Amino acid sequence: MQRTTLRVVKDEVVSREAMIVAQHPLIAEAGAELLQDGGNAMDAAVAAAFAAGVVEPFMSGLGGGGALIVHQPASGRSTTIEFSLRVPALAGEHPFELDPDAPAQGLFAWPAVKHQANRIGWQSALVPGAVAGLALALERFGTRPLREVLAPAIRYAREGVRTDWYLTLNIACAEPELAAFPSTAAVFLPGGHPPRARLGFGEPTDLFVQPDLAATLEAIAAEGPRTFYQGDVAQALDRAMREHGGFLRREDLQRYRPVVYEQPLECRYRGRYTVHAIPGPMAGTTLVELLQILDGFDLAALGHNRPATLHLLAETMRRAYVDRFAFMADPDFVHVPLAGLTSPAFAAARRQTIDPHRADLEPTPGDPWPFDPAPRARGAGQVARPIDASCTTHLSVVDRDRMMVSLTNTLLELWGSRVVIPGTGVLLNDGMFWFDPRPGAINRVQPGCRPLSNMTPLVVLRDGRPWLAIGAPGGRKLITGILQSLLNLVDFGLSVADAVAAPRIHSEDAITYADSRLPAETLEALRGFGQQVQPLEETYAASNFGRVVAILVDEAAGLLRGGVHVWQPATAIGL
């Protein structure tokens, strides 16, 4: 029996001067506009990040948070700026009542709370960090004033953008939840229904305008981030939160500060590659553990996406994730063995537990404490089954001087809290859902705490020189998506376009999820290792394996090479 096979391809983009890769053409064009005008990589990245909140409002925006890493080739240094969400003071330590009669829901499959209050509505929002973090990054590393960098986003919001299938689909899928909040429905359901994309030749396309958001962006352009954290926006948020029983207050906004790491989290891979990631409660720690375990296997000899290779990947992923959920949380609030989890010696110990011929579907967490000087933590995590909820945006920029910026921004779940602050156009995150709601859990709600985040923006050096800026949206699946894209480049010699588009797997519990584009005989052979394989189909609507975008610096040819995933409107623009 034979069936039709769908093959979707996007070309590699090649240029000499500068490049941006992003999840939507208008996001990429906003960054390219700054690059064309002589701006540097940070100018372009910040412009694109603000624009993303306008044209991809369900993924990121002013009400969210994120992180970025910038590499400056002149100094050889990488700096990271983390603008994570933070728990407001009024939330306390046990803000939600568990609902034992409801099934676990959402991205993490935590136990459900009553009325889904940690996922939907006013109480689910944490203190947003995007405006502060992006403004700080521009101040430290950019060359253009904030008003110039915000111009594309303001234009998109004020003049509107033509609705495409991507926007219409995402609004339509969330319509009941968006309609539940009048301030949200007023923005995203004009006339009581989603804005219309063109479906046929000559049919009209709605113009999607966001005048309140435009006014907020214009105020930030004129007054800086102060208006968001202390001025009119802060007052509007405080007023709405008091009216609707939310936790956030103006004082929480006034206290907010991004975190700057002058030294990134760093590891070596295959000798000549140096990976720079975000420290702290991000996913950089998990990615480093994955890479260091795999560094002890000769993946190239086994072959790209061969059953033996996929088996080793699944076993490595399963161990790294069980360690992640057992030990990771905000290190400012609990003792986390960050040095142990990223130690090559700990990776070697974990590697020794992998049978290259047989799967272990329920590995126990390792013991990183002997490799770490920190005291042992209290509390224990809980491994959660993966549920699809692609909810983030990522962009990367490389400029003429080969400054590299890798930036990820998020509202957490799609549409975040589903709540727009009236009169501002600002859609708030649902960052409470990043916390395990069970009392005593290591990753629990505590005032001022940062949640355990999946964001993993990376820059990679080869022989100490700028080589790769890479990242992805996709919940916890973005970690393994970035990992396999990097392996595709380093171990298997794929082009950057093929590396990010190739079929992948993801495993963090007994099930190994596999892209249905992998050959049936490969999946059957993988089952022969004892893996419980479940094929999943990638489509334009469903994202099962992270959606990676990357820029590779081809120093020998003097070129930049851009690759983006094939399913949604991700775009690379080279100058």
Q: Which two tokens stand for residue 466?
A: 């700028």
The rounded distance, in Å, linking the Cα atoms of 440 and 415 is 29
Pairing of strands 505-507, 511-515: antiparallel
The catalytic site residues sit at 392
Sign of CA pseudo-dihedral 279, 281, 282, 287: positive
The rounded distance, in Å, linking the Cα atoms of 401 and 466 is 10
Q: Which two tokens stand for residue 105?
A: 């829901």
Contact 21, 572 (CB under 8 A): yes
The rounded distance, in Å, linking the Cα atoms of 178 and 186 is 9
Question: For residue 22, what are the β-bridge partners?
Answer: 571
In angstroms, what CA-CA distances link 474 with 295, 320, 570?
25, 18, 13
Q: Which two tokens stand for residue 444?
A: 């629990």
The rounded distance, in Å, linking the Cα atoms of 443 and 67 is 19
In angstroms, what CA-CA distances link 126 with 50, 88, 118, 345, 520?
19, 6, 10, 37, 44
Q: How many CA atoms lie within 13 A of 219 on its CB side?
A: 22
Contact 550, 485 (CB under 8 A): yes
Beta strands in 231-326, from DSSP E residues, in sequence order:
259-261, 265-269, 273-277
